[in-house]
């Protein structure tokens, strides 16, 4: 079974594209959702996060995402520390999940696939691309973030052109062409 990475910068439409693959019967591992779940449920990870970021990282035994976001998106070193704690746990969850799957291929969806160095054991990578102005509008409509907060997050991700260059496939999600034919072409080449 092939293991395929699905990546793209914030607001590019990775989750929608992943849903399209799921409709085609492909199992998808959503790294962001898994990370949020593990940061709330994995006791060892919770202890590590409290040790590193202080007791306010949790409120009422739930991850205080606002507090943590305020810390990590103002200091790249703090973000690096968070990633060093969370990514190995998420990668372990992906490995366990992947051996339970069947089919010709599975997808691991993650925004920071290259930045986290979790792409090396994958068979191919799909990058969802979209111009920054469209991504910004999407995030403003979707999330409770200011433009400044969104741009801070965008600045911590690799340039889209670099991700496209390192990927095997690109899905353009910029309203210039339909995405489903692009997805079907990739699906057919992977099946």
Q: Is the pTM of this model over 0.85?
A: yes
Tell me what pLDDT residue 142 has.
Answer: 87
Per DSSP, which regions of the chain are E strands?
2-7, 28-30, 58-59, 62-63, 105-109, 124-129, 169-172
* Tokens 């035994």, located at residue: 61
Question: Tens digits of per-residue pLDDT, 91-143?
Answer: 999 999 999 999 999 999 998 889 888 888 999 999 999 999 999 999 988 88
Question: Tens digits of per-residue pLDDT, 141-178?
Answer: 888 888 888 888 888 888 999 999 999 999 999 988 89
Residue 25 has pLDDT above 90, yes or no: yes
- The count of domains in the chain is 1
Hey, is 83 helix, strand or coil?
Answer: helix
- Domain limits for position 168: 2-190
Residue 75 has pLDDT above 90, yes or no: no
CATH number, residue 38: 3.40.50.300
**Angstrom distance (rounded) from CA 181 to CA 77:** 41
């Amino acid at each position: 079974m092939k293991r395929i990475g699905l990546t793209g910068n914030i607001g590019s439409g990775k989750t929608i594209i992943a849903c399209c693959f799921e409709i085609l019967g492909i199992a998808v591992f959503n790294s962001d959702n898994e990370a949020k779940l593990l940061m709330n449920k994995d006791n060892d990870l919770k202890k590590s996060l409290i040790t590193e970021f202080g007791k306010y990282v949790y409120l009422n035994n739930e991850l205080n995402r606002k507090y943590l976001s305020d810390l990590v998106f103002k200091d790249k070193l703090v973000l690096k520390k968070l990633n060093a704690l969370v990514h190995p746990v998420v990668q372990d969850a992906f490995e366990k999940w992947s051996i339970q799957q069947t089919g010709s291929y599975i997808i691991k969806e993650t925004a920071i696939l290259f930045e986290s160095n979790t792409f090396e054991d994958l068979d191919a990578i799909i990058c969802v691309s979209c111009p920054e102005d469209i991504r910004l509008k999407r995030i403003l409509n979707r999330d409770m973030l200011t433009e400044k907060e969104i741009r801070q997050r965008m600045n911590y991700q690799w340039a889209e052109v670099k991700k496209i260059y390192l990927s095997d496939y690109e899905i353009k999600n910029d309203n210039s062409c339909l995405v489903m034919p692009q997805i079907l072409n990739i699906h057919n080449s992977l099946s």
